[in-house]
Amino acid sequence: MEVALQAIGLVILAFVISIPCGYIRQNYSKYSFMWFLLIHLPIPFIVLLRVKAGLNWHFIPFTLAGSIAGQIFGGALSRRKKQNGKAA
């Protein structure tokens, strides 16, 4: 049960860590250096947290899904803010 709680917490943390990167990423053109950097920037932190939590490689797909969801959510927040006429 403790491993499940750690895994859920890590996925949520991966989601939260990735939101700001997805938000900022919307300001750069697709496939630019900064665009790639902002996509990959949270990964070392998530890996470090996974290793410190003692979770093995089987949890990588879940943390990756959390990170991708955070990127998408952050990007959607940025686009919504721009659509409402506010400066990003």
Q: What is the mean pLDDT of residues 20-45?
A: 96
Q: Looking at the domain assignment, is residue 4 inside a domain? A: yes
Domain presence at residue 46: yes
Cα separation values, 48 from 6, 42, 54, 84, Å: 14, 10, 10, 37
| Domain assignment present for 20 | yes
pLDDT at 86: 65
Model-level pTM greater than 0.75? yes
End-to-end CA distance of the chain: 42
Q: Which domain holds residue 22?
A: 1-52
Residue 87 has pLDDT above 80, yes or no: no
Residue 75 lies inside a defined structural domain of this protein: no
Domain total in the chain: 1
Q: 86: which residues sit within 8 A by CB, 6+ positions away? A: none
Residue 39 lies in a domain: yes
- Rounded distance, CA 1 to CA 71, Å? 28
Within a domain: residue 10? Answer: yes
